[in-house]
Amino acid sequence: MERANLASIGQKIVTDYRDNTIALVSDMGKVKEEVEKKVVLVETYIAIIVLKGCGSICMEDKEFTIQAGDIFLCPPTHILEKSMMSMDLEIRGFILSKEMAESMMKEARLSWTNRTIVPNCVIHAEQEEIKRLCMYYDLLNGKLNAPESTSKHLSLSGLFTALIYEFCDIFEHNNFLLESANYTSAEHIFQRFVKLLEDPHQPFVSVNEYAAMLNITPKYFSTVCKKQSGKTANEIIREEIIKEAKILLHDNSLSIKQIADRLNFANQSHFGTYFHRYTGMSPQQFRMM
């Protein structure tokens, strides 16, 4: 499975600008070729503004339709596949490293978690809002490609902050709010749980074990998850396990036993039964798709 990060994007897609923190994309030729033919694991934050044309994108087994005036959002650690784009598609794309995006949002005292985005990855913007986003794109492109100067860093910082708040206004109009970093106790617990789930060095464990790590009771932990996400703790953990299993099964260098071990299953048989229960197919059947 292909991995989409800033290094690979620079090799396969024509960009207006790219460094190790950000890429700006408007040339759809190579982008269409990449997204239509391959299964891609996204390792960056992506915001695509659709100016013309239409398409469909499958993310996490859900299909989303995009058209002129839409903004498509994708956070890291998500799989894109089975995408189709019209010949006349025209976009402006912002691709940010995880560190860059989270640093910008922290500076603006906002939180934009994977779990916040997924149900709302396509939102519609008004014509004037699209025009302003394109204006920011052009300003950033010009400044990023400009020669170094004493004021360049400050100018870019101001542009990025303004861009974040422009997105915030659009999100608010669509009843999709970035979370304030001034968390309540429940929000803080949920954010810590999300970080545990996303930590590649932390194996998946049971609801009781996550609750112990967070120093709360399993009952309160489940209440927090339901309130913050609309899902139970068990549902969230299961979705993350299945998502990670699918990512690992695309890597043919790993045996199914190795994947079962990595996901903290007691044995390969237990993993196979679990995967089949929630996907309707065995790990081997999924791998051969």
- Specify the pLDDT at position 91: 94
The strand pair at 2-4 and 40-42 is best described as parallel
* Average model confidence (pLDDT) across the chain: 84
- Cα 154 from Cα 100, distance rounded (Å): 16
- Specify the pLDDT at position 228: 86
Give residue 201's domain range. 185-287
- Cα 260 from Cα 248, distance rounded (Å): 10
Residue 140 burial (CB count, 10 A): 21
Write the DSSP assignment of 105-156 as a string of letters. Answer: HHHTTEE--HHHHGGG-EEE--HHHHHHHHHHHHHHHHHHTSPP-TTHHHHH
- Given 161, 180, 199, which residue is the final one in a domain? 180
Residues 162 and 211 occupy one common structural domain: no
pTM of the model: 0.66
Band (pLDDT 50/70/90 cuts) for residue 26 is: very high
Residues 156 and 282 occupy one common structural domain: no
CATH of the domain at 253: 1.10.10.60
- Given 180, 204, 228, which residue is the final one in a domain? 180
Has residue 236 got a pLDDT over 90? Answer: yes
- Specify the pLDDT at position 180: 47
Residues 170 and 269 occupy one common structural domain: no
Residue range 3-19: average pLDDT? 83
- Given 147, 180, 213, which residue is the final one in a domain? 180
How many structural domains are present in the chain? 2
Residue range 2-27: average pLDDT? 85
Band (pLDDT 50/70/90 cuts) for residue 170 is: confident
Structure confidence by residue, pLDDT tens digits, 61-83: 788 899 999 999 888 877 787 78
